[in-house]
Amino acid sequence: MQKRVGKVYLIGAGPGDPELLTLKAVRALALADVVLIDDLVDRTVLAHAPQARVVPVGKRGGCKSTPQAFIEKLMVRLARRGAVVARVKGGDPFVFGRGGEEVLALAAAGIECTVVPGITSGVGVPAALGIPVTHRDMARGVTFVTAHTRDGSGPDWAALARTGTTLVIYMGMQRIVEITAALVAAGIGSTPAAVIEHGTTAAERSVIGSVSTIALQAAAAGLGSPALIVVGDVVALARQAVPALPQQRSA
């Protein structure tokens, strides 16, 4: 008898609120034998997979993380043993989630993979605060960028400032002073900006100000990772936005 080969569902769990999980994600979780779950995913989503063994494979900035190579080898090993694996990531697996790396590793090993998209934090978190990342009269585009790269290099902030698009910056809190200084130098110091910590969850807090003030405001409020930095005129549409004054919001 030919040995059954399992498969992997690469699932985006959304920006934080477990109710933002998609119906397709719920169905995939119900099929799983094993769930490999990231650190930032709300554990209540596991209610959709009561039958599964749960393996935490956390990744959080500034903390000890599960090596990416280990996660990829584990998925392959489990699938080759016939398991249905649900790999659950925060946000969307293909937006700064290393989902592309994992799909390639699975394909190279001959393992079937189904990608289940999720609401990326870069859209869902600002939206929950009333910030549209695009707007016909204020921002005809949006740029998603990470401040954390494998080689330690940073984006060309001056070039990004010149695009005139809304900037949504992932993993930028450790470099927020450097980032905002570069944007101020590029001439957009007065542009509205926000920092949103633990977006869409009960622990959400935010500050609204300008590019020139937001780093100090975030520090004064004690905000840290995980958080998004949003820069653009659309930030002025945020609920209770008071430019240049520290604000924080709790659910």
- Determine the pLDDT at residue 244: 36
Given a cut of 90, whether residue 106 has pLDDT beyond it is: yes
Q: Are residues 204 and 168 in the same domain?
A: yes
pLDDT of residue 250 exceeding 80: no
Instruction: Point out the domain boundary residue: 116, 151, 178.
Output: 116
Please report the pLDDT score of residue 242 as a whole number. 41
pLDDT at res. 119: 97
Q: Are residues 186 and 221 in the same domain?
A: yes
Same domain for 125 and 104? no
CATH classification of the domain holding 165: 3.30.950.10
Q: Say how many domains are in the chain.
A: 2
**243 within some domain:** no
Q: Decide if 111 is inside a domain.
A: yes
Whether pLDDT at 225 is above 50: yes
Residue 246 counted as domain residue: no
**For 148-201, how does the pLDDT look when each residue is reduced to its tens digit (9 = 90+)?**
777 778 899 999 999 999 999 999 999 999 999 999 999 999 999 999 999 999
DSSP the chain: -PPPP-EEEEEE-BSS-GGG--HHHHHHHHH-SEEEE-TTS-GGGGGG-TTSEEEE----TTS----HHHHHHHHHHHHHTT-EEEEEESB-TTSSSSHHHHHHHHHHTT-EEEEE----HHHHHHHHTT--S-BTTTBS-EEEEES--TT-----HHHHHHT-SEEEEES-GGGHHHHHHHHHHTT-TTSEEEEEESTTSTT-EEEEEETTTHHHHHHHHT--SSEEEEESGGGGGSTT--TTB------
Note down the domain range covering 155.
Answer: 121-237
Summary mean pLDDT of the chain? 91
pLDDT at 5: 80
| pLDDT of amino acid 148 | 77
Q: Taking the model in full, what pTM does it have?
A: 0.88
What is the structure's pLDDT at 216? Answer: 98
The pLDDT assigned to 63 comes to 53
**pLDDT for residue 241:** 43
Q: List residues with catalytic annotation.
A: 38, 59, 171
What integer is the mean pLDDT of 8-17? 97
Domain boundary at 76, 95, 116, which?
116
